[in-house]
Structure formats: C-alpha cells, structure tokens
Structure 1
Amino acid sequence: MIPHATCSRAVFAASLKAKRSQTFKAFYATIRGLRNPSPDPDETSVPEHDFVLSILRANPSLRDTRSYLASFGPRPQTPPVTAPADISLPPSQSTVQPPEQPIPASEHPKPSPIVASILNPVVRRTALVKIQGPFTDVQLDSITRGLVYLEKLGLVSVIVVENDDLPRGELDERAAIIEETMRVVTSLEKHGARARPVVGAVVRLGPKPCDDERLPDDGIALPEAHTVPSDLIPIRSALRAGEIPVISPFAMDSFCRSIRIDANDIIAGLARGMVEAAAKDNSKRGDERDDTSEDVDLTPLRLMIINREGGVPSYARSGYPHLLINLVSEYSHIHDTFHQPWHHSHPTALSNLSLARTCLAYMPPTSSAVMVSHRSSSSLIANLITNKPAVSSSLPHALLQGNRKLTPHTPTLLRRGLPIQVLRNVSDIDRTKLNALLEQSFKKTLEQDRFYGRLEKTLDYVILAGDYAGAAIVTKEPCPGLEAPITYLDKFAVLPSHQGDGTVDFLWVALHDESYGLGLPFSANPNGGKGGKGEGQDLVWRSRADNPVNKWYFERSSGHLRMGSWVLFWCDAEKRLEIEKGRRGSSGLSHVEDWEEGRLVKWADVVFKIPGSWRK
C-alpha cells in the first residue's frame, strides 16, 4: 500500500508541476493586488472584494444555508394547481423547451445553488450594531463596507455610535458626537448604501413603568433606558425607506431634555423595545405575511459590537479571545477569571459582555451576539451565514493553539446558552425526557429495559445541556488486561431543534472537561462537574462508518480505526500527553508510545461487544 501511495503522490506532484509555472504569475498578481504597501496593518485599506467571494469565504454548509433561508428566504407558498391528468403532456414533451423560445447560444454559468440562495434574500431582518470608536477613516471604511455587505444579504443594521475618547460633560460633546454620527453616515453612503442620521433621542432614561411590578428571575439587570412605540418612528421610517439608521447616543430624561448616555444603555433599551414592537406588529398582522412588504422585521437577529479591542480574553487561551460563550453557564466564571492586566488592554470587555447578556435575554433564542475588532469586520458575513464562531471551541486544545485563525482579533460569539449539569446516578435521570431526546436525535426506538439495565451497572456520568436539550452519556467498561476500565462515550445526542445553536459545542467542551481534559487549567470550566480537578482519562467511542457526523468526530478525536462497518474513535488524556512530551523534551513523542502498545486491540475487543440500544 505504501509504495502505491507514494507513486500516486508522485504522479499528482508531476501534474501540479506542469501547471505551476503558468499559474504562479497569475496567483502572485492576485495576491499582490489584494495587498497595500502600507506597513501598518491597522491602517491598511482593503480593496473592494467581490461580494460573492466574501460569501464563499464563509464556507457555509447545507445546514447553515437552510438556517439562513429560514430567516431570510421566502415563506412557503401555496402549491400550484396541477393540470388534469387527461391534458398533461407526456414526460418526453413536458421537459423539452418550446421551439419559440430557443436556447441562447451562450449563457453565463449558473452560480452554486448555495451561493445563489444566499444572494437572493426576500425577508429583511435587523441587527443592533454598536460602532465603538474612535476609528480612523480607513478603519471606519472597513467596518461600513462589511455592514453594507450584510445589508445585501438581508440584514439591515440599526447602528448606535460611541466614541470612548469623548468624555461626558464636555462643553462641545454633543457636536462631537453628531460629527461622529455623520462620519459613519458618509462612510456608508460611500460604499453605496443609503443611511439616515438619527440625532434625536430614541430611548427614555429610567426604568419602564411596568418594571416596578416584576423583577427578573434570572439575575439579569433591567435596562437603564426604555422605549415607547412612538420613539421607534425614526427607525421605522428609515428602514421602510431602505436606509440604515445611524443613531447618536442621546436619551430623553425626566425633564424632556436630550442628554448623552452610555451607548450600551441605548442598545439595551432598543433591544427590548424593538422585540416588543415586533411582537405587536406580528399580532396585528396575524399569521399572514407579505414577503413583498417594505416593512422590516424589527426583532433583532444579531447584536454586533465592533470595537478596537476585539472579543473577551480567556485565561484558557493565554489571553486570546473566547471563541464561543455560553452566557447562562459562563458569565460569572468569566468575571472571576478576568485577569487584572486585561482591565487595561480590554477596558470595555466586561461591560460589553453584560450588554450581550441583557440584549440576548430579550432577543429570540436563535439570536447571537458577536464582539469583533475592526480588523476582523469581514468575519461578520461568516457569522451571519453560519451563526458559528470563526473556530470551533470544541476542537482539541492543541489544535486550537496552533490554529492560524486564532489571533488576538478573533471574534467572540456569544449565545444565551443553556445550563450544564452532571448526573452521576441513574436514579437522577428523567427517563421520559432522556428517551425523547435519544429517539428524536437518532430517529430510532430505544430498547429501554436493556439500555437502562446496562446503565445501572456501568454508568459513570451523564452531562445534560438545558432541560434535556442535549446529553453525553459516559460509561465505565471493564477491560481485561488494563488496570482501569475504558471511559466509553455511549451516547452523544442533541435535539434537532438545538442543532446549530451552539449546544453541540457546549456539550462537547463539558465532555472534554470531565474526561480526557481533566487535570489541566483550561478544563476548570463551570460545567457542574469536577472543575478540572483529577486525572484525565482516554475517551473511546464507536460510530457507524456511514454516519454523517463522523467528519465532526474526525476533527475532535486523537485518532480513529476503521473496522468493517464501524469506526473506533478515541481522545487521549491530554495531561498524560503533556507529561510525556515534557519528559522527552525536544525529541517529541514517538509514533507509538509504550503505554499505547496493544491498547487498540483491547479497546476494540470490548467496545464492539457492547450490545445495541435500539429496537430492530
């Protein structure tokens, strides 16, 4: 097999070499054309990229496209009335183009169906955007170009302008803020968008009158500002006219004066007010909706915080940003692990984190927030289409450390998220809910007596996301010849309604922290388990060879072994790998360590004898 593979590589290399000379010059010219000779990357002016290329760089999957179309695509239409059977054309005639409509001699190639579907949004949605300057003209152009691209995809920005270098109380602060607002408007129009400055107050300072009657039960503070329906008239008017509203951070106080307040309070008040206004619009409109209407759905689909410092720094990534944050589970933990130097390098990270938490509490569960540096504004397109972080947070830690996409300016994606808990006794499991989760996820009927009978003997723990929205079931399987039993991932399941909303990554990160990641500092996450304390264990599982999820498993496992119609996966205990690597120093690890010798055979002998859990 090896000589054949070597020969194949040689043939492939030869074919590439034949074309390399004629393609290199064009490739170099393309790259050179995308560069600016300015040595400061912060001041680099990015040329106008092809819009379709920006979408392709997002690399949307079929699931991503379906999710995008669910928000921006046409609503299902009534199927056309079919002709009676006695007058229908034969199949051979019905598929032939009539002669009076000849096929053109030359046609432009049709774009990819995925790209074509994304390029034709029907329903327009809104995003709340905080532009947190100050920014140079070049930086602002980069930001507004990204926002104009989003508008072409159907996401219209409602922008609130902030400038951290303009202290409050200055004599000319109002004029300075209005000037910043007009800079954003001018930059948007430069890139072909229509924008409207809104320099009047769109929120009212203080709590909403009805807030006195109820208090939040989730610990989230109520917004410091609120709106009434008439306050949103300038925003509605701009959206209906096809314009992007650009709002100055002014609010009306109890004396009916327009005063400058923190942009975060403006955005939080707008998030709540726009969601409530959209709910009233939908109740008046009823279930019927005209896709050709000029109205824009006021419900914010995204919260985008564009600043100079980027996302929230993480202790687990040596100060590089968090990739994906589960606000329900991680909010307090992030505050507790926020290092003192970050208060100077990322002075607004925690306040923006609080803003995201407040806004997402009112926005739909499918909504997300993104904190991004102005240097990564192009990533907003990928976030809109995929609604995923730039790099998956559930990838192996070693792979994340060496990933070129992970930089100080990598965006942080934030979701409302779900609570994570760990159960260690079968008696604590709600069998009805777990049955529903497993059967909906696997689309099979569970053999309950056999399944729970086995768990009674072998269960190690169950990690739950939310109210049985997802679960990872781990067992201890005795293995002859090994001192410790095998840590076996028996089931990993997420409800279809939660696939694509971050639950899969939240669940796998918790699984990592409780198994092969134990004992390392970055595993001390608030997952309701051991808090990172303990000895890591190799995690082993099996999957059908034709399982479409295997691609996801390949990226997260240390290795795999194909055995007939099955694939054996495993994740090595990371702490042991770190110890071995330290012992060997610069020589690194060998291909097969002494402690690895023969373990695959022993694992396979046990794992493939585990009885199935489904009815045949």
Structure 2
Amino acid sequence: MSIRALGQRGRALGRQGRALGLRIGRAASSSASPKVPDDAAHRQRERDLILSVLSTVPSRREAQRFLKSVSASETMRSQREFEERQAQLAAAQGHAVPGEALRDAPSRARSDAEAVPRRLTAAVFVGGAQAERAGRLLAQIQRIGVAPVVMVAGGGAAAAAADYRDAIRSAHRLADAIEREGGRARPVNEGVFYNSPYARADLTVDPELIGAAVAQGQAPIITPLMADAALQVRVLETAPAAEALARGLALSSSTQHAMAGSGGAFSLLLARLILLGDADGLADGATFHRFVNLEEDHARVAQACAQPDALALMRTCLAILPPTAAGIVASVRSDPSLVLKGLISERPVATQHRSAAQRAAAASAAASAASAATAAAASAPSYRPLPNYPFVNVGPARTQPQPQPQPQPPVEAEPPTRFTLLRHGFRIQRHTRVDACDLPRLRGLLEQSFGRTLDGAYFDRLRGLEAAGGIEVIVAGDYQGAVIVTHEPVPGARPLAYLDKFAVLPAAQGTGMADILWAQLRRACPACMWRSRNDNGVNRWYFDRATGHFRAPPPESGTRWVFFWYHPPAAAPDPDEIRAGIRVAQAIPPSFA
C-alpha cells in the first residue's frame, strides 16, 4: 500500500474514530450518573474505552449504521420494510415469521415522524459463577450508547435456598463490578417473571421494571426468580427464563408503542443477543465456528457441538427477536474490544486479539518489513500486495536477495480470544440451471441490488454456459439475496470459477445476508475469481475476504478493473492460472445496459 493510500486510510479512520468518540462523549454527558472524580482509574477507563472502540476498525457504512442506531431519532425504516415484506410472505404461505408472530397488530400505522424513538439494546445472559468478571465489558457496552439488559443464569428445576441466595449475590456482585468500571446498574431481583393464565406461554415477563432501569441510564441486572402457586420463590432454569425474557423484549421493540416503564420515551431496538460463559464460542472438536446461519446450518453444527445448550438457547431466542438481531457466544473473559467489535460491526470477527507484548512484537516486525520493502522498491512487481494475506506473485520475479529478518524478542504466550456470531438466517436454494430459478424475482433482486437495468441477453449467456462449463445459483430466503457463479472455459486449462453476481436486497441489509451468502459461496467453490470496478464502494469488503488481488493498468477507454480471488489456505494457486483467469474475466461482457 502506498504512502498516499495509507494516509488516506488513516484520515478516514480518524474521522470515524472522532465521530464515535463524540457519540461516546455525548452519551457520557447526557447520562444521569453522578460526576466521576477525575482520578487515574477514571482516565484509564476512558482510554481503554476509546481504544476498544477504535480497535474495531468499522467500515464507513458500519460506522454510519451504528451512529444512526444510537441516535434517539432512529426508527430503522429498512428493518420495518423488511419485516412488512416478511409478514406479507408469511400470510401468503400461511405461517408466521420470527419476531412478527409476537407483535400485536397496531391500530394504525404511524408515519416516520410519529414513530416511537428506539433505544439500541443488547440482551446479555451471563453465567452465575463468572458473572462479576463481565463488569468491565458491560460498562463499556453501556458507555458507547448501547443499553445492556442482563440476566444472570439461573439454576435447576429444584433449586435450593442456597441457589436462591447465590443468584441474588451474583446479581449484586455484577452490578457492583459495572459501577466500579464507570457504568450504572440496578439489580432487579423479583417481579420480572410471573405466570399468567392469559398469556400463550407458561412463563411471562413484565417489562416495566426493565424499562424503568433503562430510562434512568442503568443496566438492569435481572435475577431469574419467580414465586410459584404456593408463594415459594424459586430460581428458574436458564433456558425457559431466557426465552421468556427474549419474548418480553421483542414485544417491547415495536415502533408503534413505547416500552412499559419508559414513560412513553422509547421502545427497544434489539441489536445483539450475547451469551457469556466459559467457552470462547461454538466448536465441535478442532473446528471453531465463526459464523452460523441457524436456518441452514443448525443440524450440521448441532451434531458434534461441544456447547449444545448454548446453541439451543441461541436458536430459540433468535427465532423470537427481530430479523436484524444477531447472537454472540463468547467467553466471560473475552477482550472487551472483541465483543464491542461484534456490536458495531455486522461481520464475523477472526481470531486476532493479542497481548500487549505480541502487539509490540508485531509492530516491530512491521517496521522491519517496511524497511525491507523500501530497499527492494526498484525491483518490486507491478501488483500491490493485500495486507495481512498471502499473495501470489503475478508480476516479474524479484532479482535482488531479500534482507534476512531480524531476530525478535520472545513474546508471552496468551491464547487469543474469539467468539461465534449467529444469525437466525435464511433457507438456501441451489440451482444449476437458470430456468429452475424464478427469473422475474431474480431479475428484480439483481436490478434493485445494483441499481441498474439488467441487459436483455444476460440470462441467455448463462444458458449458454450451462453446457459449456456449468453455473451455480445460490438463492437465500425468498430471493432476498443471491450468488451466481459461472464456470468460464479457459483455453488449455480447467474452467475458471467466476463470481458473476453477488446481490443483496437493500431491505435485507443488516440481517447478515452477505456473510450467509459468502459462507455458502466458499462451500460451493473452494477457489474463485471475480472483478470489480476500481471505484466500487464494496471493494473494501472484497479486500477483507480475498487472498489476492490485481489492479489492471488504466485503459485508454472503458472500465478499470480490480481482480480478486481466493483459494484454499493449504493450496496456493498457480500464477499462470491466475494470469489466464484474469484474461478470461477481463473479456466477460457487461451484464447491465
């Protein structure tokens, strides 16, 4: 990356950081908490918070979406449009959709100006034995403008008096830990859960105490206690209590009605469901799952999942919450900046958080690499390597010997933290014939996604490729997203798997659709190439997911392309195949009129 490009990237990140910093400052100044003394501990907490937020490195779109979400006037028009379309589809098919089935039909639709303001919220379930260790994380979540609604995990069906006392004690310890970290918390020991003969579910939640705490800028720390018919207080099991709480929060997320206890000020905008326990995320043996599309992947993941209770709880609760909500399964010991990244960003996060010694060593190694790159600039090839990814040399070979790397000091051993991101997701359809698709809906999806009119001969080209090399069409949900891969003939070589189209409806943005489709693409095609216009705003998303790229020289006329590709980690592609693939991809005719 050139010095100019680095400078532009740094300035862009600086603007995003200042915007987020200003939002954090406004949230802190507008809260009802008493003034915190300006001592060393307070200053250190502020530095930790700012570094945690800046370390998320959100894209411009993600930063803008997050800032809109924490704004008091946010009404999530795209979410409502998406839910309305889902409700229409469900009514036509005779079944309910997640989230919509819990909403009462409003007497009349409010306009955007009349809609109830939304309060960005994260529902958090914390294991009782580890509860207080989550204090720092929850305080930081609260201070960036997200209202955490926390439930301390309960006991068994026949909990003893000691379990009752332990549950109360865990909730108060967690509230104290949040307060020590500069946040505000309110233990809510009883009155949230009850049995109602008029409710469809056996266990019901009264949201008034939760809404009152959120309205006062406090994180409600809920203890899963309930008095039974004999007026004996018992500790509820985690699974039914979590399901009841998710249902109660979903009912409080309507844009038509304010949440009980809020004084008519707001309803909830449920962004994340966070489960903090002993494990970093969901895994089966040596396989760690960074992202799970529950609608499609649940049966496969559940077969050997080492945390079946966590997976079942997430599946149940995400089916209740609005479709834009996502789940996070992480360790209570997680680096707070990692979970904040999961709140601000919509994409899965890799294992990349290291200790201070490891970061210092990495910075030293980067400085040495930069010095080596400067020394070898005269013989550098004509491509720009993709940072942090292995890259195939498609330019001339280096002729000068490379300097030997300097020995680095030993770094402390610290396992990196990670988490699993889950979405309720969408069903997946796969087709190998274009006429097996619903072509009018596929055309509408492509034209809405790209904002342009599809060329009349586009589907004819796909039909011609069916016999020559084959095609694959992956459709998500009810044509809310699609991937089209063509296998382009290459003279004297195997066909090129070419990503022809990657489309997501604007109304489905924020639902994890892009990551769901990308995971399906990687499964269907272990190696793939595609092209994008040099000024395409989606290129950063491509850079994050590609293993290599090549910027074509500026043409005298026409489009300047950037070519991307990925391949299996254990098998680097042949440079000759990359060059041949670029020539074939460059000659593909445009798809839009």
Q: TM class, shorter-chain normalised? A: 0.5 to 0.7
Pick closer, same or farther for the CA change 1:312–1:76 going to 2, 3 Å: closer
The letter of the residue matching 2:267 is D
1:457 aligns with 2:455: no
Work out whether 1:384 is the aligned partner of 2:343. Answer: yes
Say whether 1:332 aligns with 2:307: no
- 1:234 deviation in Å? 2.2
Q: CA deviation at 1:193?
A: 3.2
Deviation at 1:458, TM superposition (A): 0.6
Distance 2:552 2:434 in 1: 31
Q: Which one of the candidate residues 391, 397, 422 is aligned to 2:430?
A: 422
Q: Deviations over 1:441-469 (max 9, x none)?
A: 22211013x10111111142101121222
Q: 1:177 to 1:599 in 2, by over 3 A?
A: closer
Aligned partner of 1:143 in structure 2 is 134
Aligned partners of 1:406 and 1:494: how far apart in 2?
Answer: 39
Q: For 2:563, what is the secondary structure of its paired residue?
A: strand
Within 2, Cα distance between the matches of 1:613 and 1:233?
A: 54
The question of 1:610 aligning with 2:588 is answered yes
Across the two proteins, how many residue pairs are aligned to each other?
A: 444
Between the aligned partners of 1:247 and 1:331, the Cα distance in structure 2 is: 29
- Asked if 1:305 is matched to 2:275, the reply is yes
TM-score normalised according to structure 1 size:
0.65
CA separation of 1:153 and 1:196: change in aligned 2, threshold 3 A: same
Rounded Cα–Cα distance in structure 2 between residues aligned with 1:396 and 1:513: 24
Measure how far apart 1:72 and its partner are.
1.5
Cα RMSD (Å) = 3.5
Report the 3-state secondary structure (helix = DSSP H, G, I; strand = E; otherwise coil) of the residue aligned with 2:490. Answer: coil
Distance in 1 between residues matched to 2:414 and 2:566, nearest whole Å: 22
Could you tell me how far 1:56 is from its partner in structure 2? 0.9
SS of residue in 2 equivalent to 1:363: coil
Q: Post-superposition shift, 1:272?
A: 0.6
Displacement of 1:55 = 1.4
Q: Structure 1 unaligned runs (5+)? A: 9-45, 78-121, 212-222, 287-291, 343-348, 517-537, 578-588
8 A Cα contact 1:310 1:408, kept in partner: no
**Alignment equivalent of 2:442, drawn from 434, 437, 447:** 434
Shift of 1:500: 4.3
Letter in 1 for 2:507: S
SS at match of 2:500: strand
The answer to whether the 8 A contact 1:160-1:263 is kept is no
Q: Residue 248 in 1 paired to residue 238 in 2? A: no
Alpha-carbon offset, residue 205 of structure 1:
5.0
Contact 2:271–2:325 (CA under 8 A) maintained in structure 1: yes
1:63 Cα offset (Å): 0.8
Change (3 A) 1:398 1:69: closer
Q: How does 1:420-569 map to 2 (within 5 A)?
A: 420-448=428-456, 450-459=457-466, 460-482=471-493, 484-516=494-526, 538-564=527-553, 565-569=560-564
Distance 2:542 2:432 in 1: 25
Deviations 1:188-228 (A, max 9, x none): 2223333222221422358x7554xxxxxxxxxxx76223x
Distance (whole Å) between structure 2 residues aligned to residue 475 and residue 278 of structure 1: 42
Q: Residues 56 and 200 of structure 1: is their aligned pair in 2 closer, same or farther, counting only changes over 3 Å?
A: same
DSSP 3-state at the match of 1:474: strand
Partner of 1:129: 124
Against the structure 1 CA distance between its residues 502 and 274, is the aligned structure 2 distance closer, same or farther, given a 3 Å change threshold?
closer
CA distance in 1, matches of 2:153, 2:348: 25
Distance, in Å, in 1 between the alignment partners of 2:552 and 2:309 is 52
Q: 2:207 aligns with which of 232, 245, 255?
A: 232
* Equivalent position of 1:68 in the other structure: 66
Q: Which moved more, 1:172-181 or 1:564-573?
A: 564-573
Q: Is the 8 A contact 1:435 1:446 kept in 2?
A: yes
Question: Does the aligned pair in 2 maintain the 1:391–1:405 contact within 8 Å?
Answer: no
Distance 2:290 2:447 in 1: 31
Identical-pair percentage: 32
Q: Which amino acid is 1:439 matched to?
A: E
Letter in 2 for 1:322: H
Describe the superposition over 1:2-42 as per-residue Cα deviations: whole angstroms up to 9, x where unpaired. Answer: xxx9xx9xxxxxxxxxxxxxxxxxxxxxxxxxxxxxxxxxx
Cα separation, 1, equivalents of 2:577 and 2:220: 62
Cα deviation for residue 486 of structure 1 reads 2.2
In the TM superposition, residue 335 of structure 1 has moved relative to its aligned partner by 0.9
The answer to whether the Cα contact below 8 Å between 1:128 and 1:300 also exists between their aligned partners in 2 is yes
Q: 2:189 aligns with which of 199, 204, 214?
A: 199
Counterpart Cα distance in 2 of 1:336 and 1:179: 36
Asked if the contact 1:446–1:613 (Cα under 8 Å) also holds between the matched residues in 2, the reply is yes
Deviation at 1:390, TM superposition (A): 2.2
CA contact (8 A) 1:311 1:322 kept: yes
Distance 1:427 1:73, change over 3 A: same
Could you tell me whether the CA contact under 8 Å between 1:515 and 1:573 is conserved in 2?
no
Distance verdict in 2 for CA 1:601–1:47, change over 3 Å: closer
Decide whether the 8 Å contact of 1:278 with 1:298 is kept in 2. yes
Once the two structures are superposed, what CA deviation does each residue of 1:110-147 show, in whole Å capped at 9, x if it has no partner? Answer: xxxxxxxxxxxx96333221120313xxx82x521221
CA distance in 1, matches of 2:509, 2:452: 18
CA–CA distance in structure 2, aligned partners of residues 238 and 572 of structure 1: 50
| Structure 2: distance between partners of 1:182 and 1:469 | 45
Tell me the distance in 2 between the aligned counterparts of 1:160 and 1:511: 37
Q: How far 1:329 sits from its partner (Å)?
A: 1.0
Tell me how far apart the structure 2 counterparts of residues 261 and 209 of structure 1 sit (CA, whole Å).
20
From 241, 256, 267, give the equivalent of 1:283: 256
Aligned equivalents of 1:314 and 1:398: distance in 2?
26
- Structure with bigger gyration radius: 1
Residue 76 to residue 161, structure 1, CA distance change in 2 (3 Å): closer
Aligned residues of 2:154 and 2:237 also touching (Cα < 8 A): no
Contact 1:198 1:246 in 2 (8 A): yes
| 8 Å contact from structure 1 (residues 143, 377) kept in 2 | no
**What is the distance in 2 between the residues matched to 1:247 and 1:573?**
46
Offset of residue 366 of structure 1: 1.2
Structure 1 residue matching 2:536: 3-state secondary structure: coil
Deviation at 1:471, TM superposition (A): 1.3
**2:153 counterpart SS class:** strand
Whichever residue aligns with residue 586 of structure 2, its letter is F
Q: Tell me by how many angstroms 1:256 deviates.
A: 4.6
Instruction: Answer whether contact 1:309 1:409 (CA < 8 A) is retained.
Output: no
Task: Provide the rounded CA distance (Å) in 1 between the counterparts of 2:592 and 2:350.
Answer: 34
Distance 1:454 1:255 in 2: 72
State the one-letter code of the partner of 1:428: A
Q: How does 1:161-200 map to 2 (within 5 A)?
A: 161-162=152-153, 168-200=158-190
> Residue 371 in 1 paired to residue 329 in 2?
yes
Any conservation in 2 of the 1:133–1:162 contact (CA below 8 Å)? yes
What is the Cα deviation at residue 539 of structure 1? 2.1
Distance 1:300 1:225, change over 3 A: farther
Q: Residue in 2 aligned with 1:535?
A: none
What is the one-letter code of the residue matched to 1:335? A
Q: Secondary structure at the match of 2:441?
A: helix
Aligned partner (choices 45, 49, 58) of residue 48 of structure 1:
45
Query: Using the alignment, how far apart are the partners of 2:507 and 2:484 within structure 1?
Result: 20
In the alignment, is the contact (CA less than 8 A) between 2:120 and 2:147 conserved in 1?
A: yes
Are 2:274 and 2:328, in contact at CA under 8 Å, matched by a contact in 1? yes
Contact 2:302 2:311 (C-alpha < 8 Å) held by counterparts: no
TM-score, reference length from structure 2: 0.67
Q: 1:556 to 1:248 in 2, by over 3 A?
A: closer
Provide the C-alpha distance between the structure 2 equivalents of 1:305 and 1:405, rounded to a whole number of angstroms: 26
Contact 2:139 2:183 in 1 (8 A): yes
